[in-house]
C-alpha cells in the first residue's frame, strides 16, 4: 500500500534513475503519463497492470480529479503502485495534488526525482541554462496558466536572466507581447521540441520573430542570452564536425 511517484525523465529512456528502475521492476500496477517514455514499461513484471492516464495539449484523456481517484483506488488495492510521470513529478507535474489526495486517504506515498525536461533537454544539447557573466538566474514558468484560476499569477515581468516556458506553444502569441514589455525584441529564443528524443527539433529565433515560427508541442521555450552561448558552441562544433 505505497504509491511510488516516479519521475521518468525528459524522454530518452536512458535518463531514468536506477532507483526508479528498481521500483518499476516490482510494480503491481503502473499509472503512466503520455510524456513518460513507453519503453520504460518494459522494466515491469509481465503480469503488471498498466493504466494510461495521459494528458496532452488539447487532449484531456482523464481529468486530474479522476486520476486522483484512480490512484487512491489502486493504492488501496495493491502493495506497489507506480505513478510514472514525465520529467520530475513536482515541476508542472501536479505531483503535489496527487500527494495531498493520497495522504488525505491515509495512503503512503514516496517519491523518486526525475530529470526535469528543461534541465535534461538543455544539458543534453549543450545549452547552459546559467552561464558566468551571462545568466545568474533561471525561472521556470508555465505558458498555460490554469484558465479556471480566479487571479492570474503569471505576469511575465520576471527578472531572471533565463526564462524557460513549459506548455508554452499554444499561447505563445498571447504572452510574447507581454514579455516584450520587459525584454528587448533581440532577446534570443530557442524552442526545443521533443527534447532528448530521436525526433528532437531545435527552432531558433528572437522575441521579435518567435511567434512566426512553426513550433509543435511538447516543447520548451528558452529565452535569454544563454541561447547565444549555445549558438557560439554550435559555431565551434561546426569547425571540427
- Closer CB to ligand SAM, 96 or 106, in the complex: 96
Residue count of the chain, please give it.
241
Closest to ligand SAM by CB, 43 vs 166, is 166
Shortest separation between residue 6's beta carbon and ligand SAM, angstroms: 11
Retrieve residue 26's grid coordinates: 516490482
When the beta carbons of 82 and 220 are compared against ligand SAM, the nearer one is: 220
* C-alpha–C-alpha distance, residues 32 and 38, integer Å: 9
Q: Decide whether 187 or 194 has the Cβ nearer to ligand SAM.
A: 194
Residue 234 burial class via C-beta count within 10 angstroms: exposed 0-12, middle 13-18, buried 19 and up: middle
Point out the residues that are catalytic.
33, 55, 167
Whichever of 128 and 217 has its CB closer to ligand SAM, that residue is 217
The span from the CA of 150 to the CA of 58, in Å, is 21
Residue 75 Cβ, how far from ligand SAM at the closest point, in Å?
Answer: 21
Q: How far does CA 194 lie from the centroid of its chain?
A: 10
Rounded distance, CA 126 to CA 65, Å? 38
Say if CB 189 and CB 79 are below 8 A apart: no
C-alpha atoms less than 13 angstroms from C-alpha of 72 in its C-beta half-sphere: 16
- Minimal CA–CA distance to 70: which of 59, 57, 58, 55? 55
- Greatest alpha-carbon span in the chain: 59
Peptide bond into 218 cis (omega under 30): yes
Tell me how far, at minimum, the Cβ of 88 lies from ligand SAM, in Å: 4
As a whole number of angstroms, the distance between CA 209 and CA 187 comes to 10
Question: Which residues in this chain contact ligand SAM in the complex, by CB under 6 A?
Answer: 10-11, 35, 85-88, 91-93, 116-117, 121, 166-167, 192, 194-197, 217-220
Minimum CB–partner distance for residue 35 and ligand SAM (Å): 5
Q: Under DSSP, is residue 19 helix (H, G, I), strand (E, B) or coil? A: helix
CB of 133 to ligand SAM, least distance (A): 28
Amino acid at each position: 500500500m505505497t504509491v511510488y511517484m516516479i519521475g521518468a525523465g525528459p524522454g530518452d529512456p536512458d535518463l531514468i534513475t536506477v532507483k526508479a528502475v528498481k521500483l518499476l521492476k516490482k510494480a503491481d500496477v503502473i499509472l503512466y503519463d503520455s510524456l513518460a517514455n513507453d519503453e520504460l514499461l518494459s522494466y515491469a513484471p509481465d503480469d503488471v497492470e498498466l493504466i494510461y492516464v495521459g494528458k496532452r495539449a488539447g487532449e484531456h484523456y482523464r481529468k486530474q480529479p479522476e486520476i486522483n481517484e484512480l490512484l487512491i483506488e489502486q493504492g488501496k488495492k495493491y502493495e506497489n503502485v507506480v505513478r510514472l510521470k514525465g520529467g520530475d513529478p513536482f515541476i508542472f507535474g501536479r505531483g503535489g495534488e496527487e500527494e495531498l489526495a493520497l495522504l488525505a486517504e491515509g495512503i503512503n506515498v514516496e517519491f523518486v526525482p526525475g530529470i526535469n525536461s528543461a534541465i535534461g533537454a538543455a544539458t543534453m544539447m549543450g545549452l547552459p541554462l546559467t552561464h558566468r557573466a551571462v545568466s545568474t538566474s533561471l525561472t521556470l514558468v508555465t505558458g498555460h496558466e490554469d484558465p479556471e484560476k480566479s487571479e492570474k499569477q503569471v505576469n511575465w515581468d520576471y527578472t531572471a536572466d533565463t526564462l524557460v516556458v513549459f506548455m508554452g506553444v499554444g499561447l505563445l502569441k498571447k504572452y510574447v507581447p507581454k514579455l516584450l514589455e520587459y525584454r528587448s525584441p533581440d532577446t534570443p529564443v530557442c524552442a526545443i521540441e521533443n527534447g532528448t528524443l530521436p525526433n528532437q527539433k531545435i527552432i531558433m529565433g528572437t522575441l521579435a520573430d518567435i511567434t512566426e515560427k512553426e513550433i509543435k508541442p511538447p516543447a520548451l521555450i528558452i529565452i535569454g542570452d544563454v541561447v547565444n552561448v549555445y549558438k557560439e558552441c554550435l559555431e565551434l562544433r561546426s569547425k571540427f564536425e
